[in-house]
Chains A and B, each alone.
Chain A
Amino acid sequence: MNIKILDSWLREYLKTSATPKKIAEKLSLTSVSIERIENYKNDFVYDIEITTNRPDLMSVVGIAQEAATVLPQSGIDATFVKPKLDLPTIHPKKSPELTLKFDEKLVNRICAVIMEVKIVESPDFVKDRLDASGIRSLNNVIDITNYVMREIGHPTHVFDYDRLLNHTLIIRESKKGEKMRTLDEKEYTLSGGDIVADNGKGEIIDLISIMGTANSVVTNNTKRILFFIDNVEPTHIRKTSMEHGIRTEAAILNEKGINPESVNDALARGIELFQTLANGEIMSEIIDYYPNKPKEIMITLSEKKINDVVGINIPIQKSVAILTSLGFMVERQGETLIVTVPHRKSGEDMLIPEDLIEEIARVYGYDNIPDTLPASSSASYIHLDLNEFYWEDRIKDALKYWGFTEVYTYPMVSETMFEGPIEDAVTIQNPLTDDMVYMRRTLVPNLLQVAKENQDHEIIKIFELANIYEKNGKNLPKQNLKLAGLLKKPKASFLEMKGVIEQLLADLEIKNATFKPLTDRSGALVLIDKQELGVIEIFDDTIITFELDIALLLQQATRKKIYTPVSKYPSVIEDLAIIAPTTVQTGDLMDAIKKQNTLIRKVSLIDKYKETRTFHIVYQSYDKNLTDKEIGEIRKTILKTLKDKYYARLK
């Protein structure tokens, strides 16, 4: 998250001669990222991005300590002025009553104190500091809670003590359907499992750690406040805050899990400010319930480990100095450091040696670490024949040079775009929109969609190579790569698309493919041996598509090239015009011709008109010149076979 703080505020806790620009530059490279410095009146505002794992740095004091550590690394003088925060010792005569009950599973710590205050406007320095932070000034009491949050880093809250019915707070999980009105007068119906405060009558009087409610907040008439600092279970906070879109600074901080030890500092600083800015008088004992105290964390770290991870030698005294300056307690035993993590830093991100290595390395300066390339190369190799990426590149290039343009479409489709029974679809549980719910089972509808969206183009040739998805019982859904293409042009020809596939197969040295008509003649299956490679579909006079299975294609593709010797003897060529019933398949005629003799090198169709098909036949021997007589014999067998099998004759 980003926080904004004024330079003058930072310098209350940081003594340095560095300019704001210098501070920003050094912090950005070694600590938090200062994204911008803006002018504010006669001051500067730092706009600081702080990663979610470091809520301890989301405060003026946190940043001051960081700056005081990193600036001296570049020879810039800087010292951290640690805030003096001692809780006052109080002996109130007669404490106002307060009943507080809570669920220990929800609450880490709660501190509270009742004070008499005078509500007025805040002084200018408070208003400016909050304003620069992007927080609106309301009155001195509310402002103090925000001021403490920004300065110390722990959110705080105030209730109007006299508006709390029976002076009772019960902290519990909400039930489904409970209603509440936040202090900004918005009504919410809770879905259950939110942490709320109840006044003992079932009425919600606070959305704990997120926002106050209209029925308990401080007003201009408030005389007595309950200053209240709650530290509760963070995932509840995130759930409630996200679900209802109540993204207050308090919620954003609390959902990250702030160490409950810092409640002390916030409490002491708050009391001090109420006393100085709101004529605050302490009326009660300080209440401190602390059911979930964090454990003390100690980490052992060796010099070798530091150097292995960083890649250069950092002297151990240097590591000790850096950690100490950041507030860690370090005990050195020879080449080993035993480090105690200070409470305000302890959290999920300070548990293992690597966490400390990060602290040392970043302060030492990543810029001071040289560039090297890892010595080892990958231990795994892939034979090119099996390297899918090699083949995919070849396939894509071929299509590109045949005029096809590649598209990338979304694999999530609408119900209408989905092909097949919808109950078989791999379905997204939390789709972004209604037209992206199902994972596609074919690429073709997407290509048709692209053609439709580009209607102004009379001729379209496109392709896509992407996964399709299929349910697979309890296993992960099947994810198979497919290659699909679409041709759109006036009078689109099936043979044009078939030719693309034939040529693609030829380029991959796949020789055993056959084409089998679909039962309704709306296209053809493409088979390799008995396996289905894919399909060509004719949609109408203008659109033809294909889809092929990449796995099968690559299984058949080969880099093996076989040399066939070139004959020394000339070939003899003749064209035979054959009259045959139109129901006879050209492929069958060609196969029949080819099979007649091994001297027939090649058969091709050169013309087709009504019942006449003209075949171009190449005869060639490896051993001799062919005579007219020999060719005449072969021709005779060809014509006999064609006549017997297909009622065909020479024209």
Chain B
Amino acid sequence: MEEKLLGIKNNAISLILETKTVKELEEIRIQFLGRNGEITQLLKELPKIPKENRPKVGSLTNEVKNIIEDTIKTREATLNKTKSQNFYALDVSEPGIRPELGHLHLITQAIREITTIFTQIGFTRVRYPEIEWDWYAFTALNFPENHPARDDWETFFIKQNPDTKKGPVLLTPHTSSGQVREMEKNTLPIKMLNIAKTYRRQSDVSHTPMFHQFEGLVIGENIAISDLKGTLNYFVKSYFGKNRVSRIRPYHFQFTEPSFEVDISCGVCLGKGCRLCKEGWLELGGAGMVHPNVLKAGNVDPEKYTGFAFGWGVERVLMMKDGIKIDDLRTLYSNDLDFLKQF
């Protein structure tokens, strides 16, 4: 009797698992659990068994019955699920239903990349006024009174009476106006990264009246030209890739001495020389060792401390990246959504 029960159980389970449809499953249910089903028949034979064995066989029969019922239930759920999914109708080539996705402006993206690179080597990002005193933008930076950059046709001035000490109010023509502000915090050594909007009075394919610069300023003991070179190369390799190299050439700025022009090797010809570059090089921007007069203006002792600074256009490094192919800088600020949504 017990062996018979186990045989029924195994047979039932294998038949249940082989079913393909709910209908087949129902047939199996009737075969085992129906009014004339195998289990029901067995239960009917129970009185023929010796009295002392009856409880044991009875509970075993019930157990088998339960197992068969559970297995049928599970199988039924599986079969129903398969049916509702309707695998044959799935078209994976149809467009997915996407969550909404906006776009950050290319300038924001570039600023983040630049910030990431410089903070990795210990720079701290700061922000200073966009509308600033002449003192911070020019005088403290060693610009003589009659320097061309102070002309009305290069820098925007604000209609406001000049301060007796700090001079006229203007729109910062460069992020260098943050240098002396940073020194005024009086915490040395300095490793500043100042990224901001800057303004100059010009508009053409390669200039917009508002643009962005990023300024690095490092001041400490024994800061040398070699440190400037290393920092520049670290940025160039991190931002443009390991194939690109930088070099410095003599140049002139009021607030640095010595001053340098920084070039990077052309990404198209990799330094061989082509139509897009000057003998294999592209100009990246200016840099130099902080002029002692600037240190003095920031109350830093030039006998004890030295420093370097660089200030480059965010737009410029962006345009120099491989493959961006924007031929008119003004496109960046046209705010054409078809343009902005490409990035």
Contact = CB atoms under 8 A, between A and B. Distances in A.
Contacts of B160: 426, 471, 477
Interface stretch (A24-32, A97-105, A529-537): A24-32
B34 interface: no
Contacts of A432: 156, 201-203, 209
Interface residues of B, number: 88
Nearest to A401: B101
Q: Specify which of B129, B185, B337 lies most central, judged by the most chain A CB atoms within 10 Å of its CB.
A: B337
Interface stretch (B56-64, B83-91, B252-260): B252-260
Given A29-B249, A400-B103, A379 B209 contact: no
A51 B260 CA distance: 11
Interface string B260-286: 110000000000000000110000000
A428 B171 contact: yes
A310 B333 contact: no
B229 A369 contact: yes
A267 interface: no
Contact of A358 (B171, B247, B259): B259
A288 interface: no
Contact of A412 (B124, B210, B230): B210
A430 B152 contact: yes
A372 B227 contact: yes
A405 B189 contact: no
Interface stretch (B8-16, B24-32, B36-44, B218-226): B218-226
Interface stretch (A159-167, A450-458, A518-526): A450-458
Contact of A311 (B171, B188, B225, B259): B225
Given A358-B259, A476-B169, A453 B209 contact: no
Contacts of B148: 52, 238
Nearest to B185: A380
A427 B152 CA distance: 14
Contacts of B131: 426, 439, 469, 476-477, 479
B45 interface: no
Contacts of A466: 197
Given A402-B102, A476-B131, A362 B337 contact: no
B252 A349 contact: yes
A432 B200 CA distance: 9
B203 A379 contact: no
B300 interface: no
Contacts, number: 241
Contacts of B190: 378-380
B241 interface: no
Interface string A98-126: 00000000000000000000000000000
A471 B340 CA distance: 33
Nearest to B190: A378
A388 B249 contact: no
A411 interface: yes
A82 interface: no
A634 B69 CA distance: 45
B260 A366 contact: yes
Contact of A354 (B191, B203, B230, B257): B257
Nearest to B201: A432
A156 B160 CA distance: 43
Contacts of B153: 242, 430
B124 A380 contact: yes
Contacts of B320: none
Contact of A405 (B103, B123, B230): B103
Contacts of A388: 127
Contacts of A333: none
A454 B227 contact: no
B218 A374 contact: yes
A514 to B, nearest CB: 27
Interface stretch (B46-54, B74-82, B104-112, B321-329): B104-112
A355 B256 CA distance: 10
B48 to A, nearest CB: 51
A173 B291 CA distance: 35
A72 to B, nearest CB: 17
Nearest to B340: A405
A388 B122 CA distance: 18
Contacts of B292: 352, 354
Interface string A395-416: 0110111111111111110000
B226 A355 contact: no
Contacts of A324: none
A367 B146 CA distance: 35
Contacts of B259: 51, 358
Interface string A357-368: 110011000110
A315 interface: no
A348 B147 CA distance: 12
B231 interface: yes
A235 B146 contact: yes
B341 interface: yes
Given A35-B278, A479-B130, A379 B189 contact: yes
Interface in B163-178: 163, 169, 171
B251 A51 contact: yes
Contacts of B104: 396-397, 400, 406
Contacts of B230: 370-374
B248 interface: yes
A403 B100 contact: yes
A358 B257 contact: yes
A411 B197 contact: yes
B102 A405 contact: yes
A116 to B, nearest CB: 41
Contact of B229 (A51, A53, A355, A366): A366
A599 B169 CA distance: 60
A427 B170 CA distance: 10
Nearest to A407: B335
B333 A410 contact: yes
A31 B252 CA distance: 11
A314 B251 CA distance: 21
Contact of B340 (A54, A349, A389, A407): A407
Nearest to A24: B279
B289 interface: yes
A51 B159 contact: no
Interface string A329-370: 000000000000000000011001011011001100011011
A51 B124 contact: no
Given A430-B157, A476-B169, A373 B333 contact: no
A462 B102 CA distance: 8
A266 to B, nearest CB: 24
B240 interface: no
Contacts of A461: 100, 102
A460 interface: yes
Q: Give 8 nearest A-B pairs by CB, closest first.
A: A311-B224, A311-B226, A403-B100, A358-B258, A377-B122, A51-B252, A378-B191, A371-B230
Given A366-B247, A378-B191, 11 more contacts: A25-B279, A358-B250, A366-B229, A378-B124, A405-B337, A407-B335, A426-B160, A427-B159, A454-B336, A454-B337, A469-B131
22 contacts: A29-B249, A30-B250, A36-B278, A308-B222, A310-B224, A311-B227, A349-B252, A366-B225, A366-B248, A369-B226, A375-B220, A378-B124, A379-B190, A389-B127, A405-B102, A410-B333, A427-B159, A428-B157, A428-B158, A429-B156, A430-B157, A476-B131
Interface of A: 24-25, 28-33, 35-36, 51-54, 235, 238, 242, 308-312, 348-349, 352, 354-355, 357-358, 361-362, 366-367, 369-382, 388-389, 393, 396-397, 399-412, 426-432, 436, 439, 450, 453-454, 457, 460-462, 466-467, 469, 471, 474, 476-477, 479
